[in-house]
């Protein structure tokens, strides 16, 4: 769907399509344990978040040089632009690369090569959000934050991702405090597989401004009421939820009830190469499976720009919002 939208929950490593994975493997002399792209696609049947993460981290082995990160990002931006994405706030997982021996600079410079040309080449404005792996020690996150200080002019904020259950937000209290002191915006995955209490903790202990997923808030009426009252944006990822089995079917997704409750929902793609679709595909899928009206879809698009970190360019945000209001559905 070409409805103008911002993508607020997108892991750049999760945009690695099988074809590009094999191309980069050949370029870098990396052997993948899959014969071809069809065999690799066969592996995209996930039981839960962890079974996906295992493949996600395995395939990162093909990303080795600045050029690889630039090519990956350019490929994403082209696909996103074709689906109406006008602004993208992009996550990356520095520790997943530094633990493989890459320099943080290789990753950031590579991403930046694509991002700095994105508005001119793809018509997509961008921001970069550095995520910490919550199943790694908090000390590693703190070291990563310190290592990123030379690049903070290119990084708008921090996030928290990877295996959620057993790794509550409070584990990263000091890291988030340090990031806040550096002027970084704060988001975190919470309530994807983890309990509603993790959402509350992300708000109260980490001071997050958006909750990534936040799906399981629906289990706690008081929490829903709070999220509505405080207008906390939730970056939902419907196709991801189906593939990772956090919902049984797309038709049973709580998105319509969440919108009816007054929650500030947005729709995003998470790891589109793995979950069957980019941002526009997610909009198409919820329209089809959940019967969302055009005005509901417009609300989701409006929310995406309102929830974006465009405070440094309110003129651009206003332009995007005007595009949303003027969009004619087909």
Ligand X SMILES: Nc1ncnc2[nH]cnc12
Binding-residue pattern over the window 256 to 285 for ligand X, x denoting contact by CB under 6 A = --------------xx--------------
CA within 13 Å, CB half, 303: 22
Interaction with ligand X in 97-136: which residues (CB under 6 A)?
Answer: none
Please check if 48 is assigned to a binding site: no
Interaction with ligand X in 221-250: which residues (CB under 6 A)?
Answer: 240
User: Which residue, 133 or 264, is less far from ligand X as judged by CB?
Assistant: 133
Both tokens of 227, joined, read 């999220």
Rounded to 10 degrees, the C-alpha dihedral 100/104/106/110 comes to 110
Least distance from ligand X to the Cβ atom of residue 49, Å: 6
Least distance from Zn ion to the Cβ atom of residue 307, Å: 15
For residue 136, give the 3-state DSSP assignment: coil
* Residue 162, contacted partner among ligand X, Zn ion, none, CB below 5-8 A by kind: ligand X
Residue 87: strand pairing partners:
6, 125
Which residue's entry shows tokens 């520095």?
94
Interaction with ligand X in 47-66: which residues (CB under 6 A)?
Answer: 49, 56
Sign (positive or negative) of CA dihedral 162, 100, 15, 305? positive
Please check if 312 is assigned to a binding site: no
Interaction with Zn ion in 181-240: which residues (CB under 5 A)?
Answer: none
Distances, alpha carbon 285 to alpha carbons 9, 248, 289, 300, in Å: 17, 15, 6, 14
Q: Radius of gyration (Cα) for the chain, nearest Å?
A: 18
User: Which residues are known to be catalytic?
Assistant: 192
Binding-residue pattern over the window 268 to 307 for Zn ion, x denoting contact by CB under 5 A = --x-------------------------------------
Please check if 270 is assigned to a binding site: yes
Distances, alpha carbon 328 to alpha carbons 26, 160, 179, 282, 297, in Å: 44, 36, 41, 19, 11
Check residue 162 for interaction with ligand X (CB under 6 A).
yes
Q: What are phi and psi of 324, to 5 degrees?
A: -65, -45
User: Which residue, 13 or 68, is less far from ligand X as judged by CB?
Assistant: 13
- The residue whose Cβ lies closest to ligand X is 161
Q: Is 272 exposed, middle or buried (0-12, 13-18, 19+ CB in 10 A)?
A: buried
Q: What are phi and psi of 128, to 5 degrees?
A: -115, 130
Please check if 161 is assigned to a binding site: no
User: Which residue, 148 or 211, is less far from Zn ion as judged by CB?
Assistant: 211
CB 79 within 8 A of CB 282: no
User: Which residue, 51 or 119, is less far from ligand X as judged by CB?
Assistant: 51
Interaction with ligand X in 176-205: which residues (CB under 6 A)?
Answer: 189, 192
Of residues 290, 289, 283, the one with CA closest to residue 330: 283
End-to-end CA distance of the chain: 9
User: Which residue, 161 or 201, is less far from ligand X as judged by CB?
Assistant: 161
- The residue whose Cβ lies closest to Zn ion is 270
Please check if 213 is assigned to a binding site: no
Instruction: Return binding residues.
Output: 9, 11, 189, 270-271
Instruction: Return binding residues for substrate.
Output: 271
Interface residues with ligand X (CB under 6 A)? 11, 14, 49, 56, 161-162, 189, 192, 240, 270-271
Instruction: Return binding residues for Zn(2+).
Output: 9, 11, 189, 270
Interface residues with Zn ion (CB under 5 A)? 270
């Amino acid at each position: 769907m070409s409805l103008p939208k911002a993508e607020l929950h997108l892991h750049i490593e999760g945009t690695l399509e099988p074809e590009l994975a094999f191309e980069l493997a050949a370029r870098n002399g990396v052997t993948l344990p899959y014969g071809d792209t069809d065999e690799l696609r066969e592996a995209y049947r996930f039981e839960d978040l962890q079974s996906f993460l295992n493949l996600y981290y395995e395939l990162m082995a093909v990303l080795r040089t600045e050029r690889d990160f630039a090519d990956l990002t350019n490929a994403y931006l082209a696909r996103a632009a074709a689906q109406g994405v006008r602004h993208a706030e992009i996550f990356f997982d520095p520790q997943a690369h530094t633990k493989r021996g890459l320099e943080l600079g290789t990753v950031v410079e590579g991403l930046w090569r694509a991002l700095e040309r994105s508005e001119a080449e793809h018509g997509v404005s961008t921001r970069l959000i550095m995520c910490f792996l919550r199943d790694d020690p908090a000390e590693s996150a703190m070291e990563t934050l310190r290592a990123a200080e030379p690049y903070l002019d290119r990084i708008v904020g921090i996030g928290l991702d990877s295996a959620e259950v057993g790794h509550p937000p409070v584990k990263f209290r000091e890291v988030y405090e340090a990031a806040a002191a550096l002027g970084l915006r704060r988001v975190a995955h919470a309530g994807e597989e983890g309990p509603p209490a993790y959402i509350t903790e992300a708000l109260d202990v980490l001071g997050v401004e958006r909750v990534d997923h936040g799906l399981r808030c629906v289990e706690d009426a008081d929490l829903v009421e709070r999220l509505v009252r405080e207008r906390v944006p939730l970056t939902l990822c419907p196709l991801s939820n189906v593939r990772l089995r956090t919902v049984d079917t797309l038709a049973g997704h709580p998105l319509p009830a969440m919108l009816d409750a007054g929650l500030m929902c947005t729709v995003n793609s998470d790891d589109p190469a793995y979950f069957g679709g980019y941002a526009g595909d997610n909009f198409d899928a919820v329209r089809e499976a959940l019967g969302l009206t055009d005005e509901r879809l417009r609300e989701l698009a409006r929310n995406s720009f309102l929830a974006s970190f465009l405070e440094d360019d309110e003129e651009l945000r206003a332009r995007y919002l005007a595009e949303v209001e003027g969009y004619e559905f087909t």
